[in-house]
Amino acid sequence: MITCRSCGETSLKPIVSLGNIPLANALLTQDELNQSEERFPLDLVFCSNCSLVQITETVPPEKLFREYFYFSSFSDTILKSAHEIATKMIERQALDQNSLVVELASNDGYLLKNYINKRIPVLGVEPARNIAREAQKRGIPTINEFFSAELAEQLRDRYQPANIIHANNVMAHVANLHSMIRGIHALLKPDGVAVIENHYVKDLIDNVEFDSIYHEHLCYYSVTSFRNLFEQHGLRLVDVEHLPLHGGSLRAYFQRSDGPCSIVKEGAQRVSSLLEGEEQSGITNFAFYKNFGEKVEFLRNELTALLEKIKKDGKHIAVYGASAKSTTLLNYFGINPETFDYVVDRSTVKQGHFTPGTHLLIRPTESLLETQPDYVLISAWNFTEEILSQQTEYRARGGKFIVPVPTLKVI
């Protein structure tokens, strides 16, 4: 029986089924192209009891995250956001050399380096072996483990309670939510702050961001579902921000219910405002989600028709971004891989590999100028502005970009 990951409710309501999809970041080598790929059901459901949106399938975390292809430092947008939040928390919480900042799923140190630059002690917790090694090479103290309540107690006893705990885009990935949040409570100082960022489910639904649904993302949060989940473990929501990052994200600030509140009073006003807005929009009711599948189908028909027309005209198309989003988009839409010449990506770690399901070669971004395809489909549409600013020469030569989400357009 499938139960809600947050509250245990059993009557979960289906929103959309995306079929059997390969794992988003399971990039292939040349030797693996002729081997069968694992595919898993990708079904999105809604819990009427606690408002959490989630997928039903749980792929073992060891399979998903022990070796990982996503390095945060390849995105200028992510680096800028990380610098801004670190600067804000240093000032807001008056951090110094006696403080401790911990990041869960700390990746390659893209965020924690901002604290190190201010001589504030840090600790990263990163389950991916290859990424943890890279962070350690960069001078970021990093524990190569999955975070849990048990590990949190060990870290608290070995180091000290944390003034700040960051968890950027990790709560969506966690199979055992309750152990994770118990661990945050255990590791956090009585007046410490947990800063949790995650994709906002309201933006996902409003903007038909269906390609943000993949097996790594087990949960899709609203302010309401965030609050309901963390309150179960003695953490209160004291502030929240709605950010444009990743097509719309929440940055939620939590503190221990048994400790003092150190967040400005305007935070409570922002929490109340967003909670009220969610209630008014109907996000806590299933009716808000039930037409989502029809909107996805409409988008599929629009995009495939455009691509077919471009190919009939004898034009060439590449893809920008060997992203997790591209795995869902290309495989669920059933787009013929022969439609595209190749994929480009800034990540040197991904280059030379092939995309899951579609088997497109991943090349450096310089390939766009070398071959000058007529069109480039931006699968990493959440970084559209960054990509456009990087590709001024390609555009000056007459190259065009296709942005599929939230509204299909050609630039």
Q: Within a 13 Å sphere around the CA of 95, how many CA atoms are in the beta-carbon half? A: 27
* Strands 188-199 and 162-168, bridge-based pairing: parallel
Of 117, 178, 190, give the one whose Cα is nearest residue 150: 178
pLDDT given at position 166: 98
pLDDT given at position 154: 97
For the beta carbon of residue 67, count every other beta carbon within 10 angstroms. 13
Virtual torsion, Cα 174, 292, 56, 284, nearest 10 deg: 70
For the chain, the 3-state helix, strand and coil shares in percent, each to the nearest 5, are: 40, 25, 40
Rounded CA-CA distance 365/13 in Å is 42
Sign of CA dihedral 128, 133, 137, 141: positive
Pick the CATH number of 300-410 from 1.20.120.80, 3.40.190.10, 3.40.50.720, 3.80.10.10: 3.40.50.720
For residues 245 and 381, the answer to whether their CB atoms sit within 8 Å is no
pLDDT given at position 324: 92
Q: Which residue matches tokens 């610098």?
A: 83
pLDDT given at position 285: 94
Token output for 103: 């990041």
For residues 252 and 260, the answer to whether their CB atoms sit within 8 Å is no
DSSP-derived secondary structure for 201-244: HHHHHHTT-GGG--TT--EEB-HHHHHHHHHTTTEEEEEEEEE-
pLDDT given at position 70: 79
Token output for 409: 């357009």
Sign of CA dihedral 308, 310, 314, 315: negative
Q: Which residue matches tokens 């992203």?
A: 323
Can you state the angle between helices 266-281 and 223-231, rounded to 10 degrees? 120
Q: Which sequence spans correspond to the domains of the chain?
A: 64-288, 300-410
DSSP H helical ranges for 247-403:
266-281, 292-312, 324-332, 367-371, 384-390, 392-396
pLDDT given at position 66: 80
Rounded CA-CA distance 322/300 in Å is 19
Q: Quote the pTM value.
A: 0.93
Q: In CATH terms, are 64-288 and 300-410 the same topology?
A: yes
pLDDT given at position 260: 86
Length of the chain: 411
Token output for 225: 């579902």
Q: Cite the beta strand spans of 85-125 per DSSP E.
A: 101-104, 122-125
Three-state DSSP at 29 gives coil
Of 183, 213, 215, give the one whose Cα is nearest residue 196: 183
- The CATH-assigned architecture of domain 64-288 is 3-Layer(aba) Sandwich (3.40)
Token output for 341: 């010449």
Per-residue pLDDT of the chain (411 residues; tens, 9 = 90+): 789 999 999 999 999 999 999 999 999 999 999 899 999 999 999 999 999 999 999 999 888 888 877 788 888 999 999 999 999 999 999 999 999 999 999 999 999 999 999 999 999 999 999 999 999 999 999 999 999 999 999 999 999 999 999 999 999 999 999 999 999 999 999 999 999 999 999 999 999 999 999 999 999 999 999 999 999 999 999 999 999 988 899 999 999 999 888 776 788 899 999 999 999 999 999 999 999 999 999 999 999 999 999 999 999 999 999 999 999 999 999 998 999 999 999 999 999 999 999 999 999 999 999 999 999 999 999 999 999 999 999 999 999 999 999 899 999
Token output for 295: 């909107």
Token output for 283: 């996000």
